[in-house]
Amino acid sequence: MENILSQEKLHELKTLLDDCTKVVISAHVSPDGDAIGSSLAMANYLRRKGKQVTVAMPNIFPDFLKWMPGADSILVYTRQQEQAKAAVAQADLIIICDLNQPSRLSGLEETVMASQAPRILIDHHLDPAYFCQLTVSQPDMCATGEVICHLLHQLGELGSISQDEAVCLYAAMMCDTGAFSFNSSRPVIYECISQLLARGIDKDQIYRNVFYTASEGRLRLQGYLLYVNMKVLHNYHTTIITLTNEERRRFNVKNGDTEGLVNIPLQILGMRLSIFINEDTEHPGTMKLSLRSVDDFPCDQMASRFFGGGGHKNASGGKLVCTMQEACKTVQKAVESFSEMLK
């Protein structure tokens, strides 16, 4: 295990955690498994320490994450604005997980930034903005869940965390590495996992909860998207899949049913990049883009340059406010711009 904070920063972290009474924990818009898992792990840990904790997410999160311990008490800002604002107003500590820019808080940003409470950022993305009193940023780590494992180790707490906390941390790391199939070659990751397994978690059940809870609609949609909507750019070793809200309604798709679909085309021999263009259910006319790559192709550079987003080298995202047809043209332009790297 690694000590990731200086003694001065560790003392500051301990002081902030000891002195608080009411805590709000949040993460990035369209929260994924790492955002939810790391936030709930911190929430369960602090509740065990006697703190009053509210987890507030900017918008809805996938149904396949709702089994996680504490997920049923998460406030969703787009649906519970007044409760979320009240919780932030009353907080004497705000912890922000799994994002590097305050704009990633979306609708929660203004409320969080207006609060006088100290803020802690715990993250693993590149180039963090320093908008918190304490920033714990470890871009070399596979997930924010891993960062929290090392923090708990340095606090002398990792060996005594609850099973619920261990479940959330394992799920966070598993989700952000595709079940440890990418960005997970550092040996210390498996030291973390060993510590979590020692708390009696069932890693196989966690895997099934996340990856084997598909609705009938998801399976039918998956077949449709691969057969009808997948475009293969053989010269660029790239695939593009599109999904509109009209198609989503046709297949009765549930929240989270599209998670992971972007990874499937990378199974095609020789593919280096997969792009999924998905119309936003909450903001029709906005196209969300998910990018996945293999080897050394930099998804994050493409996402930042063309789609106003970012992320990691092999997994990034962004968005475009336009029609699906216009989004496809922008994606084509982006692919052509990176043609030398893709060939």
Summarize pLDDT for 130-181 with one digit per residue, the tens.
999 999 999 999 999 999 999 999 999 999 999 999 999 999 999 999 899 8
How long is the chain?
343
Q: What Cα–Cα distance (Å) separates residue 96 from each residue in 63, 178, 297?
A: 22, 23, 29
In sequence order, the β-bridge partners of residue 292 are 274, 315
pLDDT digits (tens, 9 = 90+) for 270-295: 999 999 999 988 788 999 999 999 98
Token pair listed for 199: 């708390």
Report which DSSP code applies to 5: S
Alpha carbon 245 to chain centroid, angstroms: 22
Contact between 162 and 136 (Cβ < 8 Å): no
Residues near 244 by beta carbon (within 8 Å), at least 6 away in sequence? 279, 324
pLDDT at 242 over 90: yes
For tokens 């006319």, what's the residue?
A: 285
Report which DSSP code applies to 210: H
Which of 92, 125, 154, 332 is closest to 235 using CA atoms? 332
Residues near 293 by beta carbon (within 8 Å), at least 6 away in sequence? 266, 272, 273, 274, 299, 313, 314, 315
pLDDT band at 257 (very low <50, low <70, confident <90, very high): confident
| Domains delineated in the chain | 7-211 (3.90.1640.10), 216-342 (3.10.310.30)
pLDDT at 183 over 90: no
Going by their DSSP bridges, the two strands 230-233 and 134-137 should be labelled as unpaired
Contact between 167 and 42 (Cβ < 8 Å): no
SS3 296: coil
On average, the pLDDT of the chain sits at: 95
Interval 53-78 mean pLDDT = 95
Amino acid at 159: G
| Cα–Cα distance, 129 to 131 (Å, whole number) | 6
Contact between 36 and 27 (Cβ < 8 Å): yes
pLDDT digits (tens, 9 = 90+) for 80-91: 999 999 999 999
Q: What Cα–Cα distance (Å) separates residue 115 from each residue in 59, 92, 93, 110, 118?
A: 20, 9, 9, 9, 8
pLDDT at 10 over 80: yes
pLDDT at 15 over 80: yes
pTM listed for this prediction: 0.89
Which of 114, 123, 192 is closest to 152 using CA atoms? 192
Which of 84, 30, 86 is closest to 60 using CA atoms? 30
Going by their DSSP bridges, the two strands 52-57 and 22-27 should be labelled as parallel
pLDDT at 112: 98
pLDDT at 30: 87
Residues near 61 by beta carbon (within 8 Å), at least 6 away in sequence? 30, 31, 32, 35, 36, 74, 76, 255, 256
Burial string for 145-182 (b: 16+ CB within 10 Å, else e) reads: bbbbbbbbbbeeebeebbebbbbbbbbbbbbbbbeeeb
pLDDT at 325: 96
Phi, psi of 31 (to 5 degrees): -60, 140
